[in-house]
Chain A
Amino acid sequence: MTAQSHIQVNRLSVHYGVGGSLFGGGGVLKAVDDISLEIPRGSFFGLVGESGSGKTTLGRAILKAAPISEGEVRYVDEEVDYDVGRLGKKELKDYRKRTQLIFQDPYAALSPRMTVRDIIAEPLEVMKLTKTRAETDERVREIAAKCRLNLEHLRRFPHAFSGGQRQRISIARALVCQPKFLVADESVAALDVSIQADILNLLKSLQKDMDITFLFISHDLSVVAHTCDYVAVMYLGAIVEMAPSRRLFTAPKHPYTKALLSAIPSLDPDDRGRAQKLEGEIPSPLNKPSGCRFHTRCPIATARCAAETPEWKAHAPGHFAACHFAE
């Protein structure tokens, strides 16, 4: 299979109006600011960044769950070619079958009043993908087995399950309509370490099995390093660096990526205090710094960084960074 792109994002911006009154005024919050990227078919694409970097908004805009203010999102598979921002009602319904979202908190994402079977069957029923109840049950059992759920548990209610089991139920529900593209937004962040590895392995094996493309959103760089093929690093609504996963973690170019990597607490007790610490906190997206948006916290910033926006430069095949001083 060639590395054909599945999702193309071209100069996408998502703007929200904030403050102000009925008569205007107030500012515009650019949650996603002029982002372009391509997600290859069958890849596990990671999106990392701190809170407020816009990674969730980008994921939602691709699913048309956040407004596309400028630019375009294109979805291509062997059957359809959609301009996601301009979908008609019927096409949008079809798009919803092809794409799905897995949420962060498995405790909040499942209705306590529905049995596991009904939770997993709901997308099929809402989208009228099956004709009979027997057919629905068949599909539910099939996907539940794939997600390693005990079939006897289908009759129970979610409160009886642990975090890891609930997350497997959420995954089964997202996969039951056989989507081609899945956004996993911090899907392991709420899980314990001993369970997290299990869910990550499950997602990887489902991806191979069902030929799904993943957009994996996470704040945890070590998790992303272990699961994703490509990684994009976001800061204040823009992508500052993008590379094949191994390259990004072994040869990062952007000072922000370097700082993020060195901020991960080392497991070596004798390796204390070596981290290259970032000063300050992420600025408000309402009031973005001029020039390079990272210059207020960057350890190597110069006057040029405050004045000029850095170019998006290629450093190696598939490895891009936006920094004046990236070698």
Chain B
Amino acid sequence: MTAPLLSVRDLTVRFRTDEGLITTVDNVSFDIASGEVLGLVGESGSGKSVTAKSLMKLNPGNTVYGPDSRITLNLEDGPVDVLSLKSAKDLNVVRGGAISMIFQEPMASFAPAITIGDQMVEQLLLHSSLNKKQARELSIEMLDRVGISDAGKRIDQYAFEFSGGMRQRAMIAMALSTKPKLLIADEPTTALDVTIQAQVIDLMKDLVDEFGMAILFITHDLGVIAQTADRVAVMYLGRVMETGSVREVIRTPAHPYTQGLLNALPKLEKLDEPLTPVPGDIPSPLERPEGCVFHTRCPKMIPGTCDSLWPDAVAVSGSHTAACVAVEPDMEAAS
């Protein structure tokens, strides 16, 4: 078996704060194969963005990674142990080189006083062997590719002259121009209107087909995941609750949290059914529950078990796993 493009093992991330160590990501493991779209779903505080930033070591200075945490990026020149990289020069192989990232708020991701073109050219000069003229030509080509009309003129404009949808397209063009192996998209459509969101999702699907890179797609919107991802990992309070193919997880969710999320979603096809909220509130990271992190809100909570023991992930079927004691393991899949 060939090694996956990215392998994350037992990733634990803590932040040193005045209130003590706060755990935001707790023993998270997953793989992403080349050309695969992995959806990372979770609500606020689930640690999905911190997980993504760890892949490029972009977390702030007060971050403490767990001693057993491993992030391995399998590139053509051999595997890279991301967490062991120290200097900015070494990290450049990963940051903007093998991995690019697009963010939720495209206005905040572009420098306001530098033209879009200069920003695109600058990163190409850093990460490729192109000269300035070639870099500019490639940038115009990429802007054109993501559907920005009149790209030759637009490239000399500033971010404020672009509309929201155009900014996000330009962000995608910039992220893809260095031909990354992995694209991290952190809520890329959340700030956009539905009609623009639909355009951007279509564009991203086309680009995956064309460039064949892998995508880690982070979102809180299960509909967006259903439309884009091959596989899904559902996170809650820093833990992966359930993983599987997008069909398995959305059609036959095994974990009570995933089931609750899907039930809480207003659906146009089921206007007569009342909305069922997940009871209670998301606990603050300072008061992480003992045992299963979801037990304070779980309808299937078993006293004495769920509030003291973290359940192992059990195989529901094939690659579909859920970390819950109430889940019946599939013996065939487990053997």
Contacts and interface: CB of A to CB of B under 8 A. Distances in A.
Bind each other: yes
A267 B267 contact: yes
Interface in B189-223: 193-199, 201-202, 205, 220-223
B160 to A, nearest CB: 14
Contacts of A201: 274-275, 277
A263 to B, nearest CB: 4
Nearest to A297: B195
B260 A265 contact: no
- Secondary structure of the B contact surface, majority rule: helix
B252 interface: no
A270 B194 contact: no
Interface in A228-252: 245-246, 249
B199 A277 contact: yes
B266 A281 contact: no
B266 A223 contact: yes
Contacts of A60: none
A267 B265 CA distance: 10
B195 A269 contact: no
A266 interface: yes
A232 B220 CA distance: 27
Nearest to B247: A269
B165 A197 contact: no
Contacts of B308: none
Contacts of B251: 269
Nearest to A163: B44
Given A194-B260, A275-B198, A265 B227 contact: yes
A222 interface: yes
A266 B227 contact: yes
A168 to B, nearest CB: 10
Output the residue of A194, A198, A278 with the most chain B CB within 10 A.
A194
Interface string B267-307: 11001001111110110100000000000010000000000
Nearest to B230: A269
A195 B261 CA distance: 10
Contacts of A281: 163-166, 196
Contacts of B268: 221-222, 225, 249, 261, 264
A51 B193 contact: yes
Nearest to B271: A225
A209 to B, nearest CB: 17
Interface in B207-266: 220-224, 226-227, 246-247, 250-251, 260-262, 264-266
B118 interface: no
A197 B275 contact: yes
Interface string A68-91: 000000000000000000000000
Interface string A253-293: 00000011101111111111101011001100000000000
A48 to B, nearest CB: 10
A261 B164 CA distance: 21
A263 B201 CA distance: 10
A139 interface: no
B275 A273 contact: no
A309 interface: no
Interface residues of B, number: 46
A196 interface: yes
A172 B278 CA distance: 21
Bin chain A's interface residue count.
35 or more
Contacts of A249: 268, 271
B264 A197 contact: yes
Contacts of A192: 43-44, 220, 282
Contact of B43 (A194, A260, A273): A194
A198 B279 CA distance: 8
B277 A165 contact: no
Contact of A269 (B164, B226, B278): B226
B226 A193 contact: no
Interface string A94-130: 0000000000000000000000000000000000000
A162 to B, nearest CB: 4
A197 B224 contact: no
Given A226-B271, A264-B268, A193 B220 contact: yes
A223 B275 CA distance: 10
Contacts of B250: 267-269
A120 to B, nearest CB: 19
Nearest to A264: B194
A249 B164 CA distance: 27
Contacts of A266: 223, 226-227
Nearest to A201: B275
A66 to B, nearest CB: 22
Contacts of A245: 271
A255 B70 CA distance: 51
A265 B264 contact: no
A200 B265 CA distance: 11
Given A225-B271, A263-B195, A281-B163, A273 B202 contact: yes
Contacts of A275: 198
Nearest to A245: B271
A50 B193 contact: yes
A221 B198 CA distance: 14
Contacts of B261: 193-194
A268 B251 CA distance: 8
Interface of B: 43-44, 163-166, 193-199, 201-202, 205, 220-224, 226-227, 246-247, 250-251, 260-262, 264-268, 271, 274-279, 281-282, 284, 297
Closest 3 CB pairs of A and B: A265-B223, A198-B277, A194-B278
15 contacts: A193-B43, A193-B261, A194-B261, A200-B266, A200-B275, A226-B271, A246-B271, A249-B271, A265-B227, A266-B227, A267-B223, A267-B226, A273-B205, A277-B198, A277-B202
